[in-house]
Amino acid sequence: MTRGLALGLLGVLLVGTAPQALADSGPALNGRYQAVSNGDFAKTNDVYRDLPSVVSVWTIESTCTDPQTCTGRVISDAGWEADLVFQTATWKVRRELPDWQHCPDGTARPGYQLYRFFPMADGEIVEGSPVLGGDDTTTGEPGACGVGYPVVITMPFRLVKLPT
């Protein structure tokens, strides 16, 4: 089976398994969540390399126009804010990290962080779960610091709803 066909079938399965209850309200996320990027399983350019884990609290507000499309905002207690979108059964948060990659000549280049996550329970996608899992990937610019390929760091990511 080709990778494209496999991904397409996975997308059909994910969309087709949403419970009816979500059809009315959508999968909106609202409230406070603990966000954990697990550095114990970090990869730098596809090679495992332990990095510090990052733990923060996110305050999330979102609304859905239908069960497949949501937008919102994340405010992190780490001092940043970013837009939040939900499409194709996946939540995404993108942000730029100024001066992320430090070069030997003393200059620094930005990195681009992408969080992707979805509701999980026991390793399965479960709509409405208070636990979300996915990955946190930060990519540098190609050519930064005189290196043709970008630095890419990926860590497992977990988001857990905190009690109100």
In a domain, 6, yes or no: no
| Residue 49, domain member (yes or no) | yes
Q: 65 Cβ partners below 8 Å, 6+ apart? A: 26
Token digits of residue 58: 């996110």
pLDDT tier at 164, thresholds 50, 70, 90: confident
What average pLDDT does the segment 96-111 reach?
95
**Residue 19 pLDDT:** 37
Asked, for residue 85, whether it belongs to a domain, the answer is yes
Q: How confident is the model at residue 71 (pLDDT cuts 50, 70, 90)?
A: very high
Number of domains composing the chain: 1
Q: Is residue 83 part of a domain?
A: yes
Asked whether residue 20 carries a pLDDT value surpassing 50, the answer given is no
Residues 6 or more apart whose Cβ sits within 8 Å of residue 47:
none
121 pLDDT band, cuts 50/70/90, is confident
Q: Which residues pair with 82 in a beta bridge?
A: 74
Q: Note whether residue 60 is domain-resident.
A: yes
21 DSSP assignment:
H
Compute the C-alpha angle 72/87/46, nearest 5°.
Answer: 100
- Top mean-pLDDT range of 54-58, 88-92, 128-132, 141-145: 54-58
Domain extent, residue 69, equals 25-161
| Cα four-point dihedral sign 88, 93, 96, 100 | negative
% of the chain surpassing 90 pLDDT: 69
pLDDT above 90: residue 24: no
Beta strands, E only, the chain: 31-37, 43-44, 47-48, 54-66, 69-76, 81-87, 90-102, 108-121, 124-125, 131-140, 152-161
**Mean pLDDT calculated for residue range 43-66:** 96
Residue 92, domain CATH: 2.40.160
